[in-house]
Amino acid sequence: MTASPVSPRLANIRLHPVKSLDPMHVKEARIGPSGGLEFDRAWALYSADGQWLNGKRSAAIHLIRAAFAPDVSSVTLSVPGDSRKTPTKTFAFPGDTAAASQWFSKFFEQPVTVRHSPEGFRTTLSPTAQLLFPLRACRPFADFSPA
């Protein structure tokens, strides 16, 4: 029995401009200098202890909605149904990290720093994973988050 050739098909492209928040669907994307998609995980949220703020560390992050301008020049953050009435606010993306840090700090009721990386924030695979999977094979899964 011979295997029939499989033709890969790209079903959709989703960028997560803010790590751990909502994605945006795009019809095309550019590959950045580090090999990831441009604008993918360009912002990451950090708590005062220097750790990423993500769903594993704070379930409240799942309440935040992020809507991006089609050209990714801005992000509007909101918290639908929030009893604390966190205001919906739009920030220039990716430059307005200071104002976004204030918004996230108020929402999480703790100091939060928004950091920008043009190459995107990625997690290095563990030494065991690096042995099992060559880096090129893992590129599609480069958004692993630390525990």
Q: Looking at residue 139, what is its pLDDT?
A: 47
Between CA 43 and CA 54 the distance in angstroms is 12
Residue 52, pLDDT > 70, answer yes
- The model's pTM is 0.78
CB 25 within 8 A of CB 14: yes
Q: How confident is the model at residue 145 (pLDDT cuts 50, 70, 90)?
A: very low
Could you report the per-residue pLDDT of 68-117, keeping only the tens digit for each? Answer: 999 999 999 999 998 889 999 999 999 999 999 999 999 999 999 999 99
Residue 141, pLDDT > 50, answer no
